Structures are given as structure tokens and as C-alpha cells.
Structure 1
Amino acid sequence: MNFPSSKKLKYWAENYLKGTISQSDKEALEAWYMSMPDMEIDWDDDQIDSLQTLQHKIFKAVESQIRDNDNKKILRRKRLRYIMSAAAIIFILVTLGFFMHKGKNTEIASAGRQLVNDIQPGITQATLTLPNGKKIALDSAHSVKITAEKGSIYVVDKNGVTTYLGNATQLNVYNTLTTHRGEQAPPLVLADGTKVWLNSASSLRFPISFNSDTREVTLSGEAYFEVAKNPRHPFIVNAGASKIKVLGTHFDVMAYKDEPYTCATLLEGSIRITNGNNNARLVPGQQGKISTDGSVNVGWVDAEESIAWLHGQLSMKSMNLTTFMREVSRWYNVDVVYEGEPPVLNFSGLLNKAVPLSQILAALSANGVRCNLKDKTIIVSGK
């Protein structure tokens, strides 16, 4: 068969990940894999070594096709870029559990030794703490909606049935929505109509009603906001020492304490970031990073990547290993420790958050990172 380009493979892989791949493309992708020379893979003995062998096999196939299709001298840089693209494809497909042991049609998720203590992905769950200290458990069947007229708070279930929880129209009365590691909150609608989605290991402190000149909330962790427009009452997100000021817009704020910077990414509208005497105004498609020294750096990004978590995916675009492992730690509720210096790797692509932890670790192993899971701790080392 004709060897597909790396661009085509990446396109197929991403659609496979999203579940939008057509039947013809799926068959072509599987046919490409099955067309490679036969080789024995001993899944039962060592799944990690099998993945490394499979990766090596695909690299060889890519290199062979380059030689066959290009009679001119191949520049090392071009060759490396092509092979690294293939590596990214392998990472995506292995994490999907796509690769099969020929003749057995066995997905990697079920092939070889299963992890006895495999860890399942996070769930939709959060805790709402009311001003009187009462805690309300929320899950995927419930969202939170605050009525603007009377400052009343309700829990609304998926059938639209509301349960009245209380009333507080006075100033300085706050609720707190909290997620632990392994949790992602159901949608929150504030009193002004602003919608908020809270990521793992995060908290949002907000008033039952906005009765001042500004609409202010306090965030720790990460959240995506769709702010209701109200030019007379700016919406302000307090994230550590930083303030993100908006009138009406869609944006993501990442302010985890274990990250080296606070990050705001704008998808629609306009926001202003302030930290001490430093400030910057963002336009859609820009991201502002506030470092620990207070400096604000602005750059262009793929803004949709910043909210991949909202759509059930983990983004790895231009992400190093330690940053990615912090994402894994928060979503799978595990600790991560390193034996020696962390391997230097940069990833790209999107991963499905719904897969068990074992598939994430298998994908890392295929890319040269050895991970051992002991209880709820991942021990990371280079191969």
C-alpha cells in the first residue's frame, strides 16, 4: 500500500481520539499498521518492552518510506522532524489503546499483564460550601444556579427539578465550590448569569449576589469563565496576587500553587491582567503568563488547547514531562516522584481523559519514560 504522510497519520490519529474518524479512514489507518512486516510481540512478558519494540518498528517503517520516496539527499533536520511527528502519532495511538497484537486483535488495554491496582480517571464531582458551613455534594446529575433576583441558591438536577438551599442578599456572604484531585465540577451559574467550569484540585469563592461596583470572585486552581456582559460592573477574577478584569468574555485561568506561573488565556472578548505595577491587555488567541516575580508575558497560542480539559481531554501541546505529570497527578489523584533528574521530553497532542491510568503510563513508556505505580504513587525514571 502507499505509505501515508505524517500529516495524514496525525489527522487520522486525532480524529480517532475524538471519535470522529470516518469508517474509511479508520480502515486505512488499521490497514497501514497491519501492512508493516510481521513481528512477534510478547505482551505477557513485558508490556513496556513490547511498546518500545513497536515504536522502533514504526520508526524503521517511516525511515524506509523516506528513502523510497525521496531520491535526493535528506537533510537531517527534515528527517528528524518527520520521525518526531511519527513519535507523536505513536503516543496518541498507544494511549488510545489502538495498537493490536496481530492475529489476536487484542487492544493494548487488555493485552499483557493488567495492573492489579490500576487507577480509573477522575469523575464529575464537587462540594459546595454555603455561608453557614453546610456542605452540598454535587455530581454529574446536578449543576449549581444562583438566581439574581433574590440572591437565592438552588441545586438544579438534570431534569430541571430545583431544591431551595437558602437566601442571602447581604454583602460579603460567600459560597465556595471545591474540587479535589480526581474531580471536575458540574457547571456553575452565578447570580449575574456568568457560567463557570471548575477543573480538578481547584476552588472558587463567590458571593451569592453581586451588590457592589465590581463582580469579584477568587480562584485557586483552574476554571473556564463565560462572563455575562455588564459594562457598568466589571468582572474580576482574583488569582493569587493577580487580577483578571473583564466586561464580558470567554477565558481560562490557571492558577495552581504548584505551577511556576499563573496563566490566563482569552478565547473571546478582551481582558486585562494586573499584577502589582505590571499589566497587559489580551485579545482573543493570546495567553498571558504571570511569573512569580510579577512579570507579565503575552504570546499567541491555540486558545482551544487551554480548555481541552473541559471537553474531556488532556492537552500536551509544547508541554514538558514534569508539567504533564502534574496534570496526571491532579486528574488521577496520584502522587508523582522522580528517581534522579526527570527525563527531558516535550509532548504535543491531545489525550482522552477517560482512559485508565495504565494506558497513560504505557504511552509514556513507549516514549522512553519508565513509570512504576506503587499504591497511589507514580515513580518516574528514564529508561
Structure 2
Amino acid sequence: MENKRDPFANAIFIMKYLRGELNSSEEEAIIGWLNQSKANTAFLQTIQDEEKLKAELDFYASIDTQKNWQQLVEKSQPENRIRKLWPNPSIFKYAAVFLLVALSFLAVYVSKKQPNIALHPAISAELPEIKPGKNQAKLTLADGTELILDETKDGILRANDQIKITKLNGRVVYQFMGKPAAGRALEYHTISTPKGGQYQLSLPDGTQVWLNAASTLRFPVAFTSSERQVTLIGEGYFEVAKNKKQPFRVTANAIIVEVLGTHFNVKAYSEEGVTRTTLLEGSVKVNKAAEGLILKPGFQAITDQEAKIKTTTADLDQVIAWKEGYFQFDNEDFNAIVPQLERWYDVEFTYPPTIGSWKFAGAIPRNTNLNQVLQMLELSGSIKFKQAGRRIMVEPKE
């Protein structure tokens, strides 16, 4: 095949075949490809046989290749108004999941030693390639010095009698060296990710923090008081080191999340108007103004600008999908999908209001180029895209 190094594009091409959307030249190409090898014919037969597809998925699940894709298969059937990132009939659903789970398998099984096929995914020729986000952030020290972490070599960044800061493999580690000298004020540092960036941080108490795109965390270089307090803008996932004598507090959009030692996610983008605190493990207390509540694992606290707090059950896989390296949309409004794509790919979407309420479901790795993500959305059969630089225009399909 032409895209030997891009099995995702090959998957798009095969899905077009299954949907009957190939043009005449593409049909001739795939017929020629099928005639070249019995293995090619067997492959297409497999992805049109639901039981065989399930068996393939079971095999990948047994070696824990990507358990999250298997979880997608196990979800209940969506309502008709939901636009899947794969076609609606169950056989096509399994085919799309299989193709995406087994990208490496597809590259070997379909592409190895096979003749070229000209692939023409729906929009790849029209949209310039936009790369996904990556590990990039800026670290601002107490004296105003700015370190661009993605341009800084691994190793010790700063060291004194109070702290040592080390960069290693896309992660910044703070180590507490001892109490500051008498009369020395406690210093605060800030780490910020741009659109298209993410970063991991180890705080001086051992707490691990993952920052999503367009996010900022301000923190003391040493936790020497009776509490450990940080301030978050944007989204962060926290695995807090246990210390009953020093509660850990996250301030975000006028709320305070208080913990002793636990795993939780805080999403606090000001433009979204709400702050979502989701607990995965342990216990947290969410406070805003005079109101507060204790959150249990598997639940999410939602606070708005009116100082109200409400709770709901949470899809934990979806909440931390960004940390695990993929987008997961569970019957999600297009209005909710767009900000995620805009922050990760540093682009701007424009679309008519009617599209905003349309729902989509599926999952896509975050290391996927944007044009491939848009191809998957186009395969829902409901929308199409045009591009001008980093501006993406969305229109309904006629």
C-alpha cells in the first residue's frame, strides 16, 4: 500500500470500502490488491465477520495491548442520534475498533510485501498536516527566570540549600534539600503548558502532577508550613503523597480541593465556566465559599460561578483519558469535543450552532495527527471540514 508507514490512513481506506464509498479508481485498486494475495482476501473476510473480529479483539485483550479499546466494544449500543466514529451497524463497529486497536498488526498483515494502492481518505489531500501536541512547558522561577523545558537538556536545572530541580525524560523533579536559611522567604515557582503541550511534575513532597494543555500550576519549592497548597489553572491530574500532618490543597477557580493522600483530577479552564473535580482513589473535600462536600471514589464534583456544588457519577476512563494518551468521547456534544482538540492541536474551530449539540462516540490516540482525527469524525457521515492555516471550518454534510 502507498501509506505503509501510516496504517491509520489504511484503516480509513478499508472503512470506506466497507461503507461502499470508494470511487471507481479506488475500487479497481482494491480489486487488484485482493487478487495479489489470499492473505488480503482473508483479511477483508475477517473484518466482515463479527465473530472473527471479536476473537481478534479477545486476543489483543489477553496480552493487554490496549484495554481501553476493548472497553469501547463492551459499551451499550448508542441511540440513533449519536454519531459514532465508526459506522452504526455492529459489524462495522467491530471492524473500526479492530483496525484501530491493531495498527501495528495492520501495518504488517496488510502492507508487508504487497503492491501499492493509491489511498484517498476523505480529506487528507485537502487539509495540511497538523501535528499533535507534545511534552512542552515553561518553568518560571521565583526571580522571574524562565526555562523552556522542551528546549532544555536533561540534568540538574537548579540546586541550592533548599531544593534541587532536575529534568528527566519530559518530567521535572523537585527534591527538598532542607529548610531554607534563616530570614529567607519561601519561594514559589510556576510551570505552564501552552496549547499543544503537556508535562509531568514531581513536587518536593513526592506528589506527582500531570498537566494538560493550556494549564498552569503555581507551587512552593518546599512545603514547610502546616499545609501543602498549590494553585491550578486548566487541568491537572494529581497523585498526592500521603501526609496526615500536612493536608494537600489545590485552589482552582475559587474552589479548594483538600486531600491527605489520593488520586484525583481537576479540570478548571476558566472559559468553560465550571470546575470539575473527579476522585479516583481515596477521599477529598471540595470547598467553595461556605459550601463543602466529601467526594467518594468514582464521583465528580461540579462547581459553577454561582458557588453551587453538585455531584455526579463519573466515567473515570473518560476523565483521565488525556493523561493516558488518548481522546475518549462517550456520546459527547461536539461543543465539548472542540475545546479538547483546540487546546491539544493549537487550532481554532468555527461551526454553525446546530452542529454543537450533535453527539459523537469513540476514542482516538492523542499522538494522532489532526487531519486523521478529522477523517474519523467525517466517517460518522454527518460533517465535513475545510482548513485555512490553523483554522478549521466545520459544515454539515448534505
The answer to whether the superposition gives a TM-score over 0.5 is yes
Amino acid paired to 1:239: A
Give the match's secondary structure for 1:178.
strand
1:119 aligned to 2:101? Answer: no
1:175 aligned to 2:189? Answer: yes
Among candidates 340, 343, 351, match of residue 364 of structure 2: 351
Q: What does residue 135 of structure 1 align with?
A: 146
Shift of 1:317: 2.1
Q: What does residue 393 of structure 2 align with?
A: 379
Change (3 A) 1:191 1:272: same
Distance 2:123 2:359 in 1: 28
Amino acid paired to 1:179: T
1:309 aligned to 2:322? Answer: yes
Q: What does residue 378 of structure 2 align with?
A: 365
Distance 1:182 1:144 in 2: 25
Stretch of structure 1 that moved more, 214-223 or 340-349: 340-349
Distance 1:241 1:160 in 2: 28
Q: How does 1:235-246 map to 2 (within 5 A)?
A: 235-246=248-259
Give the match's secondary structure for 1:342.
helix
Among candidates 221, 228, 240, match of residue 227 of structure 1: 240
Q: How does 1:254-265 map to 2 (within 5 A)?
A: 254-265=267-278
Among candidates 182, 189, 194, match of residue 202 of structure 2: 189
Whether the 8 Å CA contact 1:153–1:167 is kept in 2: the answer is no
Kindly provide the CA deviation profile for residues 327-371 of structure 1, in whole angstroms up to 9, marking residues without a partner as x: 000000001222353343222332111111111112222221222
Change (3 A) 1:145 1:351: farther
Distance 2:339 2:170 in 1: 36
Distance 1:334 1:33 in 2: 27
Amino acid paired to 1:139: D
Whether the 8 Å CA contact 1:146–1:190 is kept in 2: the answer is no
Distance 2:185 2:370 in 1: 45
User: Runs of 5+ in structure 1 lacking a partner?
Assistant: 1-15, 18-28, 45-60, 63-77
Amino acid paired to 2:136: Q
Give the match's secondary structure for 1:355.
coil
Distance 2:222 2:188 in 1: 9
Distance 1:266 1:178 in 2: 23
Q: What does residue 281 of structure 1 align with?
A: 294
Alignment root-mean-square deviation, CA: 4.3
Change (3 A) 1:381 1:206: same
Kindly provide the CA deviation profile for residues 16-54 of structure 1, in whole angstroms up to 9, marking residues without a partner as x: 99xxxxxxxxxxx99x9799697643688xxxxxxxxxx
Distance 1:245 1:237 in 2: 7
Q: How does 1:52-71 map to 2 (within 5 A)?
A: none
Amino acid paired to 2:214: A
Distance 2:301 2:157 in 1: 30
Change (3 A) 1:39 1:370: closer
Q: TM-score, normalised by structure 2?
A: 0.68
1:41 aligned to 2:54? Answer: no
Amino acid paired to 2:148: A
Change (3 A) 1:145 1:199: farther
Q: How does 1:148-159 map to 2 (within 5 A)?
A: 150-158=161-169
Give the match's secondary structure for 1:316.
strand
Distance 1:378 1:280 in 2: 41
Amino acid paired to 1:381: E
Give the match's secondary structure for 2:335.
helix
Amino acid paired to 1:128: L
Change (3 A) 1:155 1:108: farther
Whether the 8 Å CA contact 1:199–1:221 is kept in 2: the answer is yes
Whether the 8 Å CA contact 2:87–2:379 is kept in 1: the answer is no
Amino acid paired to 2:385: C
Aligned length: 322
Change (3 A) 1:372 1:249: same
Change (3 A) 1:275 1:143: farther
Whether the 8 Å CA contact 1:184–1:199 is kept in 2: the answer is yes
Q: TM-score, normalised by structure 1?
A: 0.71
Stretch of structure 1 that moved more, 172-181 or 295-304: 295-304
Whether the 8 Å CA contact 1:270–1:284 is kept in 2: the answer is yes
Distance 1:352 1:159 in 2: 19
Distance 1:34 1:362 in 2: 11
Q: What does residue 33 of structure 2 align with?
A: none
Amino acid paired to 1:41: N
Give the match's secondary structure for 1:200.
coil
Distance 2:82 2:360 in 1: 14
User: Runs of 5+ in structure 2 lacking a partner?
Assistant: 1-6, 27-47, 50-76
Give the match's secondary structure for 1:114.
coil
Among candidates 298, 308, 312, match of residue 295 of structure 1: 308
Change (3 A) 1:171 1:249: farther
Whether the 8 Å CA contact 1:262–1:289 is kept in 2: the answer is yes
Shift of 1:155: 2.1
Kindly provide the CA deviation profile for residues 250-291 of structure 1, in whole angstroms up to 9, marking residues without a partner as x: 111100112131001111110011111222211111111112
Shift of 1:234: 0.5
Amino acid paired to 1:151: Q
